[in-house]
Amino acid sequence: MYEYHYRAAVISGQSTSFVALRPPDRWLSFQLFPDTTGLTARITAADAFGHGPPAEAPAEPAVHTRPGALYHILHLASALTEAVSVQDVVSMVSEQIVPAFGGQAVAVLLAESGRLRIVGHHGYPPGLVDRFDGTPLTEATPGVRASTSPVPAFFESRAELEGLYPDRPETRDGMAAWAYLPLVTSRRLIGTCVLAFAEQHRFSTEERTILTSLGGLIAQALDRARLYDTKLGLARGLQDSLLPHALPAVPGLQTSARYLPGTEGMDVGGDFYDIIRVGPDTVAVVIGDVEGHNVNAAALMGQIRTAVRAFAAADADPSTVLARTNRLLADLDTALLASCAYLRVDLSHRVAWLADAGHPVPLLYGPDGRARPLEPPSGVVLNVDPDAEYPQMRIDLPIGTTLVLYTDGLVDTPGADLDQALADLTATLARHGGDPLDQLADALVGRARQAEHRTDDIALLLVRSVAR
């Protein structure tokens, strides 16, 4: 708080004062006098009410001085360079602009497909701003005018707004003054930013200049953010198209899956899973993870899924499927690595065979209520040694057995102990292993889903042996 007072004095060029308590019981008065050479601070004793000796130079009488608007502008300009999404931009504008100018509310509207679209707002009552969403650009409203003309509009009172736009809903939004700032980037008008005040507000020439400049900063940040959101949507769409939209229904086997994308970055991940009907009583279950988070990783993931499906259709055993997939990756001449676990389930005999290529160990929940990690003889990850072999292990699947297959994003997080994370996951399985499969899946990814930051994407695939 005290640093804000100093910065406000330097940036605004106006003297100010405040009081502070020096522990345990001594009050001090700080008087700040900025000039062209720097800042002079005069510190004197004050009483408990903040009263000190009169200033020897002109000073602001208020003890609590709001930091200079220019400081907020500089802070906003710096913050906007880090804004990723459109909502990031709206949040930063509301946090910096509203307090800097004493406003009550802010709304950002973009011109899209001949209409004004509200992309975010703050400070308005719920539902009020939504009435303006979808306003045609042919209507005579202050928002449309600011979105179609590069000239900002300032209304210092309700009477001024009603004089130009009578009988408009904008005059009944509970506000008393407005600034409509055109959002111009690369000589293109993309929308408007509305700053509203609860009381009448006089816009000085300097304030109008600063607010108009702000429109340019906001427009550039929004343009970048919209491009990011578009690319993110395309990336997520590509990811979704590479994952199965629905798992096949298999008599004698219940299945459930979850996929959580990483929260950092916008590129697609390489995690994948699949369930493949091989025969009337045979099912292949596969999960894997291609290194990297980009289009190359997603493309390779699609190739691996296709290859595994082809090799599975040939009725090959798990060891052969992984060995052939490994040789295919070597022939593709890619530097990317991939882990994979392949499970072949024989439903008539309630048994499965598992081969593992450097993938996290699956977990098993038995009919007796015990949960434990399996210990398959793991081979090296795919695309390291073209001649690598992948031994397989047998797993009995009596009715009530649940297998948990997952990618490393579920347990391997920065700063976490991998063994402890695996133990925690096993404990969660022990507590919820008897729940319906979808509830169990939600419980297993619950902590990861609540995490604010996920550096890796997560795939989870559950299979449960049930009566046919």
Look at residue 32 and give its three-state secondary structure. strand
Question: What DSSP letter does each residue of 126-191 carry, written as one string?
Answer: TTTGGGGTTEETTS--HHHHHHHSSS-EEESSHHHHHHHSTT-GGGGSS-SEEEEEEEEETTEEEE
pLDDT of residue 68: 53
Q: Crossing angle for the helix pair 295-313 and 318-332, nearest 10 degrees? A: 140
Of these ranges, 176-190, 230-244, 259-273, 358-372, the one predicted with the greatest mean pLDDT is 358-372
| Residue of 40 and 269 predicted with greater confidence | 40
Q: 53 pLDDT band (50/70/90 cuts)?
A: low
pLDDT at 51 over 60: no
pLDDT at 22 over 80: yes
Of the candidates 286, 352, 351, which has an alpha carbon nearest to the alpha carbon of residue 313?
Answer: 286
What percent of the chain is predicted at pLDDT more than 70? 88
Q: Residue 123's pLDDT is what?
A: 86
* Of 9, 97, 11, the residue nearest 55 (C-alpha): 9
| pTM exceeds cut of 0.75 | no
d(CA 351, CA 102): 70
Give residue-wise pLDDT tens across range 158-198. 899 888 888 777 767 788 999 999 998 877 888 899 999 99
Report the distance separating Cα 207 and Cα 73, nearest Å: 11
Same fold: 69-235 with 244-465: no
Average pLDDT, the chain: 84
The superfamily (CATH) of domain 244-465 is PPM-type phosphatase domain (3.60.40.10)
pLDDT in the model for residue 263: 59
Q: Give residue 279's pLDDT.
A: 87
How far apart CA 34 and CA 12 sit, in angstroms, is 9
| Encoded tokens for 156 | 């210092």
Give the phi and the psi of residue 40 in degrees, each rounded to 5: -105, 130
Region of poorest pLDDT, from 22-26, 223-227, 277-281, 358-362: 223-227
User: Among 82-91, 238-247, 412-421, where is mean pLDDT lowest?
Assistant: 238-247
- In this prediction, residue 407 carries a pLDDT of 94
Angle between helices 205-242 and 69-80 (to 10 degrees): 20
Distance CA 17, CA 6 (A): 9
Between CA 224 and CA 228 the distance in angstroms is 6
Predicted confidence (pLDDT) per residue in 358-376, tens digit: 999 999 999 999 999 998 8
Fold of 69-235: Beta-Lactamase (3.30.450)
Structure tokens at 153: 């509009």
Dig out the tokens for 274 from the structure.
């699949």
- Overall average pLDDT of the 150-154 stretch: 90
**Side-chain half-sphere exposure of 66, counting CA atoms within 13 A:** 11
Beta strands, E only, 291-337 = none
The single residue listed with the structure tokens 């990811």 is 239
Distances (CA, A) of 32 to 53, 67, 293, 321: 14, 13, 52, 76
Strand-pair category, 26-35 with 16-22: antiparallel
Q: What is the pLDDT, as a whole number, of residue 65?
A: 34
Write down the pLDDT at residue 244.
81
pLDDT-based confidence at residue 148 (cuts at 50, 70, 90): confident
H helices present in 333-467, as ranges: 418-432, 437-450
Section 442-452 average pLDDT: 82
pLDDT value for 197: 93
Cβ proximity of 369 and 430 under 8 Å = yes
Amino acid 413: pLDDT: 79
Name 288's bridge partners: 272, 340
> CA 203 to CA 185: how far, in whole Å?
24
- Of 189, 102, 77, the closest CA to residue 144 belongs to 189
Domain boundaries, the chain: 1-66, 69-235, 244-465
pLDDT tens digits for 305-336?
889 999 998 878 999 999 999 999 988 888 88
